[in-house]
Amino acid sequence: MSKISDLSRKREVISFAAGEPDPSVLPRKIFGELMKEVFEKVELVGNYTPADGAFELREEIAKFMKKYDDVKTDPNKIVVTIGGSQALDLLGRIFLDAGDIAISESPSYVNTLIDWKQYGARIVGVPVDDSGMITDELEKTVKKLKGERKRVKLVYTIPTGQNPSGVTMIEERRKHLLEIASQYDLILVEDTAYNHLLYEGQPPKTLRSMDKEGRVIYSGTFSKILGTGLRIGWLEGPSEVMDLIKMVKGPTDMCASTPMQYLVIESLRRGIFEDAKKKALENYKMKRDIMIKSIEEKLKGLKFTKPIAGMFILVWLKKGMDGYAFAEELLEKKGVAVVPAAAFYTDDSGKEVIRLNFSMVPPEKIEKGISSIAELLGF
Amino acid sequence: MSKISDLSRKREVISFAAGEPDPSVLPRKIFGELMKEVFEKVELVGNYTPADGAFELREEIAKFMKKYDDVKTDPNKIVVTIGGSQALDLLGRIFLDAGDIAISESPSYVNTLIDWKQYGARIVGVPVDDSGMITDELEKTVKKLKGERKRVKLVYTIPTGQNPSGVTMIEERRKHLLEIASQYDLILVEDTAYNHLLYEGQPPKTLRSMDKEGRVIYSGTFSKILGTGLRIGWLEGPSEVMDLIKMVKGPTDMCASTPMQYLVIESLRRGIFEDAKKKALENYKMKRDIMIKSIEEKLKGLKFTKPIAGMFILVWLKKGMDGYAFAEELLEKKGVAVVPAAAFYTDDSGKEVIRLNFSMVPPEKIEKGISSIAELLGF
């Protein structure tokens, strides 16, 4: 995947390979002025914050979770991280040792799977359909592992606008997931990276807001609205867990960048986040619609997901095709970059699947890119 | 230690507990204007860089190492990290498993020791004197471990302006260290955090520049000159090692903050680093001199280190005293914060030692703080 990312940066290609905001949507000018002000006014902007982040930022995040998730929490139960990636890495660090089992959706965010495997964990996948993780399958899996006397350390889910599938878990499944967690004493990791990129309907309730038993650890990020480059995310969860996270966090990196923490503080306080979100939603919804329409018209009969949230669409190539080989050929012959999705799956069921991103590609190139895919597939 | 750091932030105390630049020395106004420019001009400033950092930054770092260390290297052998802390953490991540042995100076930088222990490593200490790590002792230790068939995975050293001792390794010892490394096939980790805070004489040659066999991994940071808050450091070393670092780095945090990477790029290109360094040297040398004079006058007879580089001075309280208890009492009764140095030692030989920082305390408070220490000690 990183080879394809590299290539797509170097050549003038149409890239469906990203997982990022469109730079033209980010409020760069406003950020620049804000930074000037922050560097002038905040005396300690060039110094460390505490390892868990500036108190003001943790306060703003607590308000943010109240506002958007109807969750009442406390700045002391929040740890600011280097984006959502480090949030998930820190969970691997405190929970997972060699041989431990973590359950994820299959497919799921490949970086988390790789990272947790680096700690020696075995990842067991539960399939996803258009309504999100198939919780009946989760229950079967958990029961089976219990029968084998194997303890599940974490259950990882991206309930809204999932990466890579783009699907959003329906409320009934969310309830079921929490019931299973309660019955089998499981800890859930809720990755909310795409929660603010919702293009249809009312925001689904977060697992964290539905949880009555303190089983949900919430992983958040500002990357998808304010920019992945800031590297500001957070973890929120039960005090016992957060105290451990605080212990291990400091030595790994001291803290997240102080100027970036203040950029987020002021973006939340001054409504810059809200404005950026509005602009992003408008832009990405338009591009999602163009992409779906193009796929329906040009890739007739191929299975694909229709996301109501997030940045991604999965497309199933013809049975037996190899997504890696196809992606390479597509880049070489047509100058179009896509991500083969096989690595997102915990088994080999995703070989013929590719992931398309619609957020970062200019709208006028979407149709052209999908046409190239159609041509290579012989449509 | 973190308890003391917290306290010293909250109350109006004289703090010798920091390990950071003086905020009044940092070019905050220039940084603010630079950020405004960067956010306007760099289209992808809000997006990810490659996991190993923006190519332009790695290019600038390669030039930096040529200029200051006379080391010829390559942007592809450099990985940009979240400050020096993450550089050292990543080394722990790829080299150290449960039961592995790493050698450090004793005392040494406590965060590295804690971090590497989190990977299950056992840290074996080699004592330090006014000429740096006592390399004869290192050789004995390595020989002994070899006799026990125990493999030393890493040897960690901060040769210049060491934290916490403030001492700088003399060239003869540096040569000896490299000879031992060659003889016993060791990998050296050279932490250069304080190399640019040199108050006397010519810059000592770095181990990296003296190394003919590719045994030295170089850990660098801009924290001590441009600000700890930026969180930009790097690792440089043999390709085999750097390739592994690149593999594990991405999933842990994707990349260092993009705006902060550009802040460093432009600071290096426009001479802002050089100016900031000049200002820092002037300011910290003056404060170091005041602190040494105060200690000589007010704490007569106590052993202490006289650094030619770095930010720290170690003071040995009277034999049998407990540095922790003393630090607590000093904070409570006199409002002066110091760091008990025991945790920096790999054995219990540092119980009566405290660490004083001179970079972050205003000059007019140094004498007063040392007087308070003298009073509490009954001088």
Residue A166 — left, alpha, or beta (φ > 0 → left; ψ -120 to 50 → alpha)?
Answer: left
Best A10, A253, A311 residue to mutate vs chain B (most B CBs within 10 Å):
A253
The residue in chain B having the minimum alpha-carbon distance to the alpha carbon of residue A254 is B85
pLDDT at position B9: 52
pLDDT at position A5: 53
Bridge partner list, A312 = A357
pLDDT at position A11: 54
Q: pLDDT tens digit string along B6-29?
A: 555 555 799 999 999 999 999 999
Backbone angles phi, psi at A184, to 5 degrees: -105, 10
Domains of chain A, by residue range, sit at 2-26+274-376, 44-270
- Asked if A306 and A295 touch (Cβ cutoff 8 Å), the reply is no
Omega before B50 within 30 of 0, i.e. cis = no
Omega before B164 within 30 of 0, i.e. cis = yes
- Asked if B318 and B356 touch (Cβ cutoff 8 Å), the reply is no
Which residue is listed with tokens 């700890």?
A: B228
CA distances A84 to A313, B166, B233, B319, B378, Å, are 21, 37, 21, 48, 52
**Average pLDDT of adjacent 10-residue blocks, chain A of 379 residues:** 50 89 96 98 96 98 97 97 98 95 98 95 97 98 96 97 98 98 98 98 97 97 98 98 96 96 98 98 98 97 97 96 97 97 96 97 95 96
- The domain B2-26+274-377 is placed in CATH, from the list 3.40.630.10, 3.40.50.720, 3.90.1150.10, 3.20.20.70, at 3.90.1150.10
DSSP symbol at B316: E
**Cβ neighbours of residue B218 closer than 8 Å, sequence gap 6 or more:** B65, B69, B71, B190, B192, B206, B208, B235, B236, B237
Given A26, A85, A259, which is nearest B254 (Cβ)? A85
Contact B46/A228, CB-based, under 8 Å? yes
Given A252, A254, A259, which is nearest B260 (Cβ)? A259
Contact B257/A231, CB-based, under 8 Å? yes
The whole-angstrom distance between A45's CA and the closest CA on chain B is 7
Best A29, A47, A86, A264 residue to mutate vs chain B (most B CBs within 10 Å):
A47
Q: Are strands B152-157 and B101-106 parallel, antiparallel or unpaired?
A: parallel
Contact A83/B229, CB-based, under 8 Å? no
Q: Are strands A152-157 and A188-191 parallel, antiparallel or unpaired?
A: parallel
Which residues on A lie below 8 Å from B37 (Cβ)? 32
Q: From the CB of residue B42, how many other CB atoms can be counted at a distance below 10 Å?
A: 22
CATH dotted code for A2-26+274-376: 3.90.1150.10
The residue in chain A having the minimum alpha-carbon distance to the alpha carbon of residue B1 is A250
pLDDT at B341 over 90: yes
Mean pLDDT of chain B: 96
pLDDT at B1 over 50: no
B333 half-sphere exposure, CB direction, 13 A CA radius: 13
Looking at residue A379, its amino acid is: F
The whole-angstrom distance between A19's CA and the closest CA on chain B is 10
Listed residue (A180, A193, A2) closest to A85, CA to CA: A193
What is the rounded distance in angstroms from the CA atom of residue A331 to the CA atom of residue A326? 9
Omega before A107 within 30 of 0, i.e. cis = yes
Fold of domain A44-270: Aspartate Aminotransferase; domain 2 (3.40.640)
Given B33, B36, B253, which is nearest A82 (Cβ)? B253
Given A39, A118, A227, which is nearest B248 (Cβ)? A118
The whole-angstrom distance between B234's CA and the closest CA on chain A is 12
Contact A31/B46, CB-based, under 8 Å? yes
Buried b (16+ CB within 10 A) or exposed e, A20-37: bbbbebbbbebbbbbbbe
Omega before B107 within 30 of 0, i.e. cis = yes
pLDDT at position A12: 76
Q: Nearest 5 degrees, angle CA A118-CA A123-CA A129?
A: 135
The whole-angstrom distance between A280's CA and the closest CA on chain B is 14
Long-range pairs for B66-75: beta carbons < 8 A, 24 or more residues apart? B68/B195, B68/B196, B68/B203, B69/B206, B69/B208, B69/B209, B69/B218, B70/B205, B70/B209, B71/B206, B71/B208, B71/B209, B71/B218, B71/B236, B73/B236
Contact B47/A229, CB-based, under 8 Å? yes
Fold of domain B47-270: Aspartate Aminotransferase; domain 2 (3.40.640)
What is the rounded distance in angstroms from the CA atom of residue A231 to the CA atom of residue B115? 22
Residue B189 — left, alpha, or beta (φ > 0 → left; ψ -120 to 50 → alpha)?
Answer: beta
CA distances A125 to A108, A193, A196, A355, Å, are 9, 20, 26, 18
